[in-house]
Structure formats: structure tokens, C-alpha cells
Structure 1
Amino acid sequence: SLAGKTIGMIFEKPSTRTRVSFEAAMYGLGGQVIYLSGRDTQLARNEPLKDMARVMSRYVDGLVVRTFGQEVVEELAAYATIPVINALTDLHHPCQVLSDIMTVIEKRGPIQELVIAWVGDGNNMANSWIQAAARLGFELVLACPADYDPDAAILAAAQAEARQPISLVRDPREAVARADVINTDVWASMGQEAEEAERREVFAPFQVNDELLACAPADAIVLHCLPAHRGDEITDAVIEGPRSVVFDQAENKLHIHKAILERHLATG
């Protein structure tokens, strides 16, 4: 139980699923939530992060931060005396990947025995999947267009640590050929709207559709962290099809967020 505990949620990037699941998780555990959008904090008016971190540490028991720059989360964590949870940055999305991994284990068993395919943009989700592959010891194959690769330093560090291959290919059919799990995400993330038309053209061959699934094992499952742009990175038929587990995946955000909050805020 987190009765008597309060989290501050600092969301410079708006969200539906992440906000609702964290709030529902905290309330479900008996705690309280204070939500602050980008308009509600002094960050937009250049308040030093180290000041905000130390002040918020006097008011709440933990911070859940969803923002653009990874450096924002890291500086808040460096100066805060309370837990700081990364609910998304442009570089990482660790809570979402934990939810995804929970879903994979529920549906397919121990992840160390599986091959995971990532198809599409080498974005924050891809970066966090790469780190998870190195830490947990499963094989990961990423298919990204040239010039849209995951972070090079993250990939190199993970490959050096990994017990199973972490590979980058250009052909999505190659990526899914042995895959137990096929994962994708939007082609243009929040803040990249100006690139949307160009990205749609570049990423068109990376759409997760019935033709791509035909190249994968018959029992492969499909993940998408949502929201999905149906008809772009994934088709309506695939999301609504028998291989899709995206709504169980979305539900598991609630359970993972409860576990994260309990782990970091519970006392005794």
C-alpha cells in the first residue's frame, strides 16, 4: 500500500495511456497524484532543474517525468532526494518496454528463449529494447531504414554486453523470418510532425501488414505500444487480427506501473 504517499507527474509531453495508467496505478495502491503539464511548471520559463528537483523533493515522495530531453530526467534525478521515474524521453521509454516484456512472457514464456524483431524507426522504444536485450539475454533483430538507426552508442554498448545477438538489418522480411515477436511503433514521434510526409515515404516498406507476417513464423505475435497510425506503420487488419496482443500490452502498463511505484515508494 502507498497510503499517505504522493507522486508528482511532470509531463512536458502529453499522454493518454501513460498518464491514465500511472494515475490509476497510484490511486489503486492508495496514494495521491499531482499532475503538472508543461504549462504548469516553471521549466518553460527556464527555472533551473536542480532547483525544481530539490523543491519537489520537499513536497512529494516521487516524480514521474515525461519529457523531451534525456538530460532533463537525469538532472532531476541527480539533484532530487526522491525517486525519479522516466515515463518517456526522446532517447528512452523504459516503462513501456517493461510492459511489453511482461506481455511477451505472458504470451510466449521465457523471453531468453525467444527472438524479438523490431520493425521501423530506431527511436526511443528501439533504444530501450536494445538495452533490455543486453540485460535479459534475448536475441533482438532490428530492421530500420538507413539514416533512421537506433542510437549508435546505445547499440554498441549493448552489443558488447549481450549474451545473444543484437543485429541491425535493412530488410524487414529478414528481421521477422525467425521472430517470435514482431514489434513496431509510429514512424514520426511527437515533435517530428514536420518530417511526417518524408518519413511516410521512407518507411513505407517497413509497414507491418499481412504480407510481412507471411514471412514470419505462424505463431509470431505482434506488439504496438499505441497510439497507432493505422494504415501507416501497421494495418488495421493486423491490429484487429489474431496475432495482435496490443490491448493486453496496453493493459500491462497499469500492472507494471503499479510494480514500479511499489518498488520505489513503498516503505517497510
Structure 2
Amino acid sequence: MLSNLRILLNNAAPRHGHHFMVRNFRCGKALQNEVQLKGRDLLTLKDFTGEEIKYLLWLSADLKFRIKQKGEYLPLLQGKSLGMIFEKRSTRTRLSTETVWSAKQQHNSPWELVRNANLRPTGLETADSVVLSGMTDAVLARVYKQSDLDTLAKEASIPIVNGLSDLYHPIQILADYLTLQEHYGFLKGLTLSWIGDGNNILHSIMMSAAKFGMHLQAATPKGYEPDPNITKLAEQYAKENGTKLLMTNDPLEAANGANVLITDTWISMGQEEEKKKRLEAFQGYQVTMKTAKVAAPDWTFLHCLPRKPEEVDDEVFYSPRSLVFPEAENRKWTIMAVMVSLLTDYSPTIQKPKF
């Protein structure tokens, strides 16, 4: 897919890392460990430690507070440029990224390299004349194959951000965690219940939840379980962090005692031909108040959108327990935090949240 860009990318300057000293305002002195983010790629949260992910959430909360609540002028990305690649259609990812980049603070706009909402392009041949590493500071790519992202990151000397792939959707999970941290005031000890397909969203939760001390109970139909290699690594993370990981085919078992009920589309982009088969396989997986009855008393609901009624009924989706709309807004603040952390030297100024 990326063969025609290799000469251009190989001619670019090598990337350099940067060390952030994370300040702990509660104790008044710097933490001993350093968070290294500037110049990094964000392809999967598997590559990030718990402290690094916490830093991104801290930065997200800081930017949201300073810009939205205090109305401060923060031209942090001014003069920077972003290339965007969309092999799949996008609403929230694209809109949140564009608002981050073209907000009044930045005075610039992202550059879309591949424009195709419904059909897979023939590759990045449509952008052969673009010198990615020489003309942009970062690239956000929504692609079919994770391997294409990995190749792009290997060739490029600028940060590559995963806007969604067949295996992972890390920027969505950052928004989910920020939403839960805002609602509960902490993340450690929460039990997440996934009810649905063993897809990229679940994979991203599996690669990160245990690093916060969160438990995961996931129910998928037989034949639709998550990738076995990812499951094996998630089991290792759970063991290392002393958390619970339950994989089952029973939605009520997964929901039992859970603080957070999470689902997603049963038919992802590129799976439309499987619709009839999938709808049959996922019978009984709709999240309803019956599901919520076995959850914890403080249960909440997340869905990354767009939502279909067979996945969750109206009573749950529009209930006061549903956090889907704050979750959608937080895509903006977490994407902003990702871009700021990968491209600038900015550090949070607010007190570090409790995780």
C-alpha cells in the first residue's frame, strides 16, 4: 500500500524522542519516572505504559478545563500541520480532529491526503506527490489493516496516529476513560463489561484497562471472540496488575456486578455482507434494563457511536446512566491531547486527577 512513498519517507530526517517530567502538584515535586511522548507514534495502547496513558488523560483534562471552562487562548498547535488519511468513512474522528486543528487557537487546518468515504482506495498512490515527513508534522490514518499503519510508522519520521484499524481504536478508548474518570472520579477498581463483538474497541480496552487497575468482563458470541494473541497478552496484563479478566459467551455473566456496560456496532465497516449472519449470531446481546439489573448499582453505559437499536434499546441509550454524549465530546479533548503531547513540549498545569 505504501511502497510509492518509501523513497520520500526515507529521505526525511529521523525522529527524536522527548522527555516530559510529569509534575505531581499534590506532593509538590516531580515524579521519578519520565513520560516520553514527543515524537512517538500512537498505533496501539499496547505500546504505552499505564503512566503514559494516565498522562494523556491528565493532559486531556487540563486542555478541556483551560480552553472550554476558562476560555483561555492556547495556540499550542499553531504552525503545525497534520495529514489525514481516511480509507473508511468517519464522523466523530474526523470532526474532532478538524475542530482541534482549525480552532481559533491554531489558525490552521488538517490536510486530507486520501478522500474516499465508501470505497477502499487503490492505496496512497493518490498522494504520491506528497512528501509526508517533509510537509506535515504528523499523520492521522483510518485504515483497513493495522499492518498498513505499522508500515507507515516504520517508514515515516513523523508521528503516526491510529484513527482506527481492524485491530485497534486507541483514540476512542482514551475518550472513554476520560469520560469515566470525570463521572466516577477515579478508574482503579472499576469493572468494565463488554457485550458485543470481539472487535478493535474491545482489543483496545484489553490492551489498557488492567494498566489502570480496572477489571474486564467481556461477552462475545461463539465465533466472534477477540484475537487470541491479544487475549493472551491481556491475560498477562491482568496477572501483572492483579485485575480480573473474564471472557464468556453469556452477556448477563459479563454484566454481573459491572460498573460500566459497553457495546459497539455488531457490523463494522467492511462487514456489511455479513449483516444477516451477524444479526442472528448476536441475538440476546442487546443491552437493556434487564442487563443493567445484574450490574452494579452505580452502572453507566458507553457506546462509541453510531448506535443501532439492536445493540442497545432506547431505555438504556437515553437514560441518565448513559454517558454516550459526553463520551463523544471527549473525542475532541483526547485527540487534542494526543496531538499536543506528540508535537509540543506542553505539560499539564492542573492537579493530576486521581486514577
Q: Is the structural similarity TM-score above 0.5?
A: yes
Q: Which residue in the other structure is 1:2 paired with?
A: 77
More displaced stretch, 51-60 vs 121-130: 51-60
> 1:249 is matched by which residue type in structure 2?
E
User: Which of 309, 320, 335 matches 1:242?
Assistant: 320
SS at match of 2:139: strand
The worse-fitting range, judged by mean Cα deviation, of 31-40 and 6-15 is 31-40
Alignment partner, residue 72 of structure 1: 148
Supply the AA of the counterpart residue of 1:222: F
In the other structure, the counterpart of 1:118 is: 194
> Is residue 216 of structure 1 aligned with residue 291 of structure 2?
no
Instruction: Give, in whole Å, the separation in 2 of the partners of 1:141 and 1:213.
Output: 14
Cα distance in 2, alignment partners of residues 202 and 242 from structure 1: 30
- Which of residues 325, 334, 346 is equivalent to 1:256? 334
Structure 2 stretches of 5 or more lacking a match? Answer: 1-75, 347-355
Deviation, structure 1 residue 197: 1.2
2:84 is paired with a residue of what secondary structure? strand
**Aligned-partner Cα distance in 1 for 2:124–2:170:** 26
Q: 1:214 offset after TM fit, Å?
A: 1.6
Unmatched segments (≥5 aa) in structure 1: none
**TM-score, normalization by structure 2:** 0.71
C-alpha spacing 1:12/1:178, structure 2 compared with 1 (3 Å)? same
Partner of 1:25: 100
Q: Please say which of residues 220-229 and 206-215 is displaced more in the overlay.
A: 206-215
8 Å CA contact 1:26–1:261 kept in 2: the answer is: no
**What are the equivalent positions in structure 2 for 1:152-167 lying under 5 Å apart?**
152-162=228-238, 163=241, 164-167=243-246
In structure 2, the residue matched to 1:225 is 304
Larger Rg: 2
Aligned residues: 264
Amino acid at match of 1:14: R
- The match for 2:273 is 194
Pick the aligned partner of 2:121 from 40, 44, 61: 44
Determine whether 1:106 maps to 2:185: no
Task: Please give the secondary structure, in 1, of the residue aligned with 2:110.
Answer: strand
1:180 deviation in Å? 0.5
> 2:221, 2:295 → 1: CA distance?
19
CA gap of 1:53–1:95, structure 2 versus 1, over 3 A, is farther
User: Contact conserved, 2:198 with 2:227, CA < 8 A, in 1?
Assistant: yes
Task: Report deviation, 1:257.
Answer: 0.7
Letter in 2 for 1:95: I
Letter paired with 2:320: P
Matched, 1:265 2:340: no
Query: Which of 264, 268, 286 is the matching residue for 1:185?
Result: 264
What root-mean-square deviation, in Å, do the aligned CA atoms of Structure 1 and Structure 2 show?
Answer: 2.1
| Mapped partners of 1:175, 1:105: distance in 2 | 21
Q: Which moved more, 1:202-211 or 1:88-97?
A: 202-211
Pairwise mapping of residues 121-132 of structure 1 onto structure 2 (< 5 A)?
Answer: 121-132=197-208
Cα deviation 1:125-179 (Å, max 9, x = unaligned): 0000000123322111101111101111011012112211222011111111110
**Structure 1 position 218, deviation (Å):** 2.5
Q: CA deviation at 1:265?
A: 1.4
CA distance in 2 between partners of 1:255 and 1:46 (Å) = 30
Normalized against structure 1, the TM-score is what? 0.93
Aligned to 2:175, the other structure's residue is in SS state helix
1:38 CA drift (Å) = 4.5
Cα separation, 1, equivalents of 2:90 and 2:197: 20
Matched, 1:139 2:218: no
Q: Secondary structure at the match of 1:113?
A: coil
Following TM superposition, by how much is the alpha carbon of 1:27 offset from its aligned partner in structure 2, in angstroms? 1.9
